[in-house]
Structure 1
């Protein structure tokens, strides 16, 4: 996967996505921020998250007969919604496998897009096993959320827009689930601005890439305890790890409550409806897990929408 692949993906997915806006975090009574900090609002994206970028690129890269028997995905919610949307656009059925900790609201949205929803396992990895077995039985195409070049190239198009919208940014903060988003984005960012720093954010209860960085190889977590289904992954992909190892400068960990507080601030101060993964960039700074250098110009990402901040 190259920078040119990501540029090609941007052209391929243009009919299916929005160019989402950015907002500067200022005039905020709930948070004393000393850095210039902008967020890109992928919570306003088609299907509610950045995931449509990868899903659209994967589906539009396939011959129509390959998806004739439907699309299948395992998801904490957002990838499933993107898959269901592309199935709807393509006129084929979608079957989405959710772990037990996935949001009931995201499940309802999946059904509204016409997807068949099945619960399987307690974490994404277990739902993925069920999805793969189902896809093989049905002859359907299984949409992996991160171990797929076309998916990762699609996710990288977020950064193509960010480097244009925020040309002065020199510190990027990106949430990590399986790692596809940060892998794709980092290819763009380091190509355009090799001196920019890229910081990943993972839950304390699912330090998937952090554990790999510490071990110097891909490892499987002994357990996943975070309640953030969209950031819960026991093992990343070898290719994702290699890209992240080259491009990502550090990974910080935040607890679920820190993301909850950040989601609440985004809602009450800015009217932004973020899910917990969408609040992770802000949570890293609010919690002190990441202390930006003075003068750093920060670009974060509200990667997914949700109601997690409404009742905090």
Structure 2
């Protein structure tokens, strides 16, 4: 993966995605949110999250023969939805493996997209094992959510848009599941703005890259306890870790409850329906896990849609 690959992905995915808007957070009752914070609303993206960018870039890089037997994915929800969407667009079947903590609403959406849904294991890593086995047996193409250069390059197109839409931002706060999103975004942002600060956000119950940074190499978490299925990953990929090690300045941890509060605020104050991963950037600010330096202009990402905050 390279900046050139991300720029090529911009052209490849452009006809198939939305250029999502950016919201400046003003007139907010929560004083912990810095004035002028901007959020890019990927919750309004095709399929409901940023994941469609990577899925489009991967599928459009393949021949019709390569996907003739269908697409397979393991997902906490959002990557599965993007894969199912691209399978429907391509006229091939999709089989999506979910962990048991995945959102029932996302399962319903998958079925409406025509995907076959199978549950396997309590966390993504176990669903991944079942999905790869199915792909080998069926001949379908496996859509890895982060250990795939084309997927990560597609996610990096968000960074290109953020640089264009929020040109004065110098602190970027990005949610982490497996790490593909922050790998793509950090690579292009650091290339264009080397002095920008990039901070990743992980759940306390799934500190995947945080643990790798502490160890100095890729490690597997002994357990994953977060209820946020879209951010639950026991082990990242070596290539993702190497990109993050070079380009990500810090990784902070937030509780599931902090993400819940942020999702509720997004709905109550701004009418934005975000899932818990989508609320992670804002949660890091509200919980004080990320403290902007004086004068830093903040750009976050609402990376996925959901109903987690709608009870507020």
TM-score after normalising by structure 2: 0.99
The CA deviation string for residues 265-293 of structure 1, in whole angstroms up to 9 with x for no partner, is 00000000000000000000100111111
Runs of 4+ in 1 over 2 A off after TM superposition: 30-36
Question: Shift of the alpha carbon at 1:294?
Answer: 1.8
Instruction: Look up the match of 1:298.
Output: 298
Pair 1:50-2:50 in alignment: yes
Correspondences of 1:78-117 after superposition (within 5 Å)? 78-117=78-117
> Contact 2:25–2:35 at 8 Å: present in 1 too?
no
Instruction: Look up the match of 1:227.
Output: 227
> Contact 2:32–2:285 at 8 Å: present in 1 too?
no
The CA deviation string for residues 85-130 of structure 1, in whole angstroms up to 9 with x for no partner, is 0000000000000000000000000001000000100000000000
Instruction: Look up the match of 2:205.
Output: 205
Query: Structure 1 CA distance, aligned partners of 2:286 and 2:131?
Result: 37
Query: Structure 2 CA distance, aligned partners of 1:129 and 1:84?
Result: 19
The CA deviation string for residues 127-160 of structure 1, in whole angstroms up to 9 with x for no partner, is 0000001111100000000000000000000010
TM-score after normalising by structure 1: 0.99
Instruction: Look up the match of 2:261.
Output: 261
Query: Structure 1 CA distance, aligned partners of 2:293 and 2:267?
Result: 26
Question: Shift of the alpha carbon at 1:32?
Answer: 4.1
Correspondences of 1:156-167 after superposition (within 5 Å)? 156-167=156-167
Query: Structure 1 CA distance, aligned partners of 2:269 and 2:70?
Result: 42
Count of matched residue pairs: 312
User: Is the deviation greater in 4-13 or in 23-32?
Assistant: 23-32
Instruction: Look up the match of 1:195.
Output: 195
> Contact 1:36–1:296 at 8 Å: present in 2 too?
no
> Contact 2:206–2:226 at 8 Å: present in 1 too?
yes
Structure 2 gaps, min length 5: none
Instruction: Look up the match of 2:143.
Output: 143
> Contact 1:30–1:269 at 8 Å: present in 2 too?
no
Query: Structure 2 CA distance, aligned partners of 1:266 and 1:45?
Result: 17
Q: Secondary structure at the match of 2:151?
A: helix
Query: Structure 2 CA distance, aligned partners of 1:211 and 1:33?
Result: 27
Query: Structure 1 CA distance, aligned partners of 2:87 and 2:195?
Result: 39
> Contact 1:35–1:296 at 8 Å: present in 2 too?
no
Structure 1 gaps, min length 5: none
> Contact 1:35–1:294 at 8 Å: present in 2 too?
no
Query: Structure 2 CA distance, aligned partners of 1:110 and 1:267?
Result: 24
Query: Structure 2 CA distance, aligned partners of 1:15 and 1:70?
Result: 22
Instruction: Look up the match of 2:237.
Output: 237
Query: Structure 1 CA distance, aligned partners of 2:307 and 2:31?
Result: 20
Q: What is the aligned-residue RMSD (CA, Å)?
A: 0.7
Q: Secondary structure at the match of 1:65?
A: coil
Question: Shift of the alpha carbon at 1:35?
Answer: 3.9
> Contact 1:145–1:151 at 8 Å: present in 2 too?
yes
> Contact 1:206–1:231 at 8 Å: present in 2 too?
yes
Pair 1:131-2:163 in alignment: no
